[in-house]
Amino acid sequence: MTTELRVLRASEWDDWFEAVELAFGGVPESAEERAFDRAVTEPARSLGVWDGQQCVGTASAFSFRLSVPGGALVPAAGVSLVSVAATHRRRGVLTEMMRRQLYDVREWGEPLALLTASEPAIYGRFGYGAATQQLAAEIDTARVRLEVPPGTDDVRLRSAAPADVRDACETVYARNVPARPGMLARRPHWDRMPLLDPESDRDGASPLRCVLAERAGDVVGYARFHFKPEWKWAGSDATVVLRDLEALDPAANAALWRFLFDIDLASKVWVRNRPVDDAWQHLVSDIRRCDVRVRDSLYVRLVGLGAALEARAYQAPVDVVFEVADAFCPWNEGRWRLTGDAKGGASCKRTDEAADLALSVRELGAAYLGGVSLASLAAAGRVRELRPGALAEASQAFGAGVAPWLPHGF
Ligand SMILES: CC(=O)SCCNC(=O)CCNC(=O)[C@H](O)C(C)(C)COP(=O)(O)OP(=O)(O)OC[C@H]1O[C@@H](n2cnc3c(N)ncnc32)[C@H](O)[C@@H]1OP(=O)(O)O
């Protein structure tokens, strides 16, 4: 097999995107989604593998900025639209693209690469660690009550067409980004994504609806959701399907959840992607009847290890030397001394000093946003403590105080 890997030319986008669709099963995207994907593709940051005229491999890297512990927004390559044609699978095409892409990301000076995986087994070998989780729940609102905090009744709710209030919602979203690691600052075109609403994805539910939370005329939160009717002999058993919700304070948050719980004719709220520490869990009378589940979400890869570790803040003083294995990005291999604390920033430089902790770059990616503790990775045998006390020190420092969370796929 002779194939050529090259940077995507804008004129090749249709063939390239068709290869993506085929690898994902061949069901064409809606016109709305296709137009969005075309708008957000950055050809100069996308790769295609060609076998003659046929595109057999694809990979893209959106230019994102990721919120990290401490609130900094760090340049990151959002790896997506990765595919290899079924006719060319398991011959190393993905591996070739992943290697080239990580070299490119390094050239671009971006310390991080990020992705959400179609299957968790794929990306660990390339140094990506599962750094965030997403919470799903099916809440039995016929039986579960909400206990709301003072001030909730002062919040006014207003229904609006999602497109009409997009800018107000984006303002709320932008204010929340630095407060939660794992969120992405919006880039041009990406504010369209939360409003994508192809009928083919609704499974019988309503078009997207939006409710704003307001106080003294200011928008302090929003929820976007679908209503999925279901009529049974005994009456309605409809579901409210929450798409996204952001609030600037506890009362606004509670007012929005109370609204979702109280919609007439519905007896369930279905939640697919929320932070694992989401506050609604502390408002409900019966968490067991909320059927909470979690799964992996954002995978993080340190591409520029020193710059990545310097970009975040640390919850407690830390001074440790890591012995890092990174077969895929050899420039990260070796010993690094990390010093930092919550206030003064951090330094992460190469060193010859004795190592305190040994691990691979994948574990550093998993721990980077504070959602996975180094101690739990050590318990699994994936981090080795070489100096007594170093593990507890580093594990505490790497915490974030808030669960990292990616609000939407890419
Ligand atoms: C960020 C994103 O875009 S996620 C979307 C990923 N794309 C998809 O899921 C679409 C459907 N699948 C595909 O397109 C392809 O099968 C891919 C991209 C997952 C894999 O491409 P390939 O070219 O077959 O991978 P490649 O041959 O380089 O495999 C490298 C290694 O990963 C392993 N591997 C590849 N895919 C998988 C998988 N789905 N599950 C487990 N292991 C896998 C291979 O076995 C191989 O292991 P080895 O080195 O020990 O032999």
Taken in order 63, 166, 407, 30, the sign of the CA dihedral is negative
Domain of 207, CATH number, reads 3.40.630.30
118 is in an annotated binding site: yes
187 is in an annotated binding site: no
Number of domains, the chain: 3
144 lies in a domain? yes
284 lies in a domain? yes
Cβ distance 323 to 352 under 8 Å? no
How far is Cα 274 from Cα 133, in angstroms, rounded to an integer?
9
124 lies in a domain? no
How far is Cα 152 from Cα 298, in angstroms, rounded to an integer?
32
373 lies in a domain? yes
Q: What is the mean pLDDT of the chain?
A: 97
Is the pTM higher than 0.95? yes
Give pLDDT tens digits for 91-133.
999 999 999 999 999 999 999 999 999 999 999 999 999 999 9
Q: What share of the chain is helix, strand, coil (3-state, %, to 5)?
A: 30, 35, 35
- More confident position, 345 or 141: 141
pLDDT band, very low/low/confident/very high, at 166 (cuts 50, 70, 90): very high
Cβ distance 139 to 269 under 8 Å? yes
128 lies in a domain? no
> Is the ipTM of this structure higher than 0.90?
yes
118 lies in a domain? no
Pair (61, 165) in one structural domain? no
Does pLDDT of 318 surpass 70?
Answer: yes
Pair (170, 187) in one structural domain? yes
Please tell me the distance between residue 94's alpha carbon and the centre of ligand 1 in angstroms.
6
Q: What is the mean pLDDT of residues 377-404?
A: 98
pLDDT band, very low/low/confident/very high, at 1 (cuts 50, 70, 90): low
Domain of 375, CATH number, reads 3.30.1050.10
Q: What is the mean pLDDT of residues 71-90?
A: 98
State the closest ligand 1 atom to the C-alpha of 116, by its place in the atom list counted from 1: 1
Pair (253, 179) in one structural domain? yes
The closest alpha carbon to 262, from 114, 384, 144, belongs to 144
What is the CB-side half-sphere exposure of residue 129 using CA atoms within 13 A? 24
Q: What is the residue range of 200's domain?
A: 135-296
Pair (59, 151) in one structural domain? no
Q: What interhelical angle do 31-40 and 13-23 show, nearest 10?
A: 120
Pair (26, 69) in one structural domain? yes
pLDDT of residue 342: 87
Give the residue numbers marked as catalytic. Answer: 123, 410
Instruction: Pick the residue whose CA is nearest to atom 7 on ligand 1.
Output: 83
Please tell me the distance between residue 89's alpha carbon and the centre of ligand 1 in angstroms.
7
Please tell me the distance between residue 25's alpha carbon and the centre of ligand 1 in angstroms.
15
123 lies in a domain? no
73 is in an annotated binding site: no
